Amino acid sequence: MDEHVREDQRRGAWTTAQHRVTGLRLLKDGQRIDVRARREVILSAGAIGSPHLMQVSGLGPAGLLSEHQVPVVVDLPGVGENLQDHLQLRTVYRIQAPGPSTRCTAIGSPAVAWDFST
């Protein structure tokens, strides 16, 4: 198995031929580097980076790509359209003395666990 992982690249685009990804066009220290794939390219750039890389490579909603002067390779309307951020705000309280709420744990009482999970 011949694998090479590039972790040091932050910007770039896929290179394509006949609707197939053939490699990557990267920017490093202001210079363009073209990397060709022998078999496959695996995209792993996260929830924001993956759709961005697809879009700058011409894979995405044609209207959006045209608006930003990106040549459309494949019109894929769903790319970048379903991002759901799971924002979590957690409140932490400090109490002075133990009371009924601190003695009543989910482990000791299934009813309490049910109340707090629904």
Residue 70 included in any domain: yes
Structure-token pair, residue 110: 């299934």
Residue 62 included in any domain: yes
Query: How much is the pLDDT for 2?
Result: 58
Q: What is the pLDDT of residues 34-86, one digit of tens each?
A: 888 888 888 777 888 889 888 988 999 999 999 999 999 899 999 988 877 77
Average pLDDT of the residues of the chain? 79
Query: How much is the pLDDT for 3?
Result: 62
Q: What is the pLDDT of residues 86-116, one digit of tens each?
A: 777 888 777 777 776 666 555 556 676 677 6
Q: What is the pLDDT of residues 6-44, one digit of tens each?
A: 666 656 788 888 878 888 888 777 788 888 888 888 877
The whole-angstrom separation of Cα 53 and Cα 73 is: 13
Residue 110 included in any domain: no
Query: How much is the pLDDT for 69?
Result: 95
Report CA torsion sign: 62, 66, 68, 74: positive
Residue 112 included in any domain: no
Please tell me the total count of domains within the chain: 1
Residue 98 included in any domain: no
Query: How much is the pLDDT for 103?
Result: 64
- Residue-range definition of the domain harbouring residue 25: 12-75
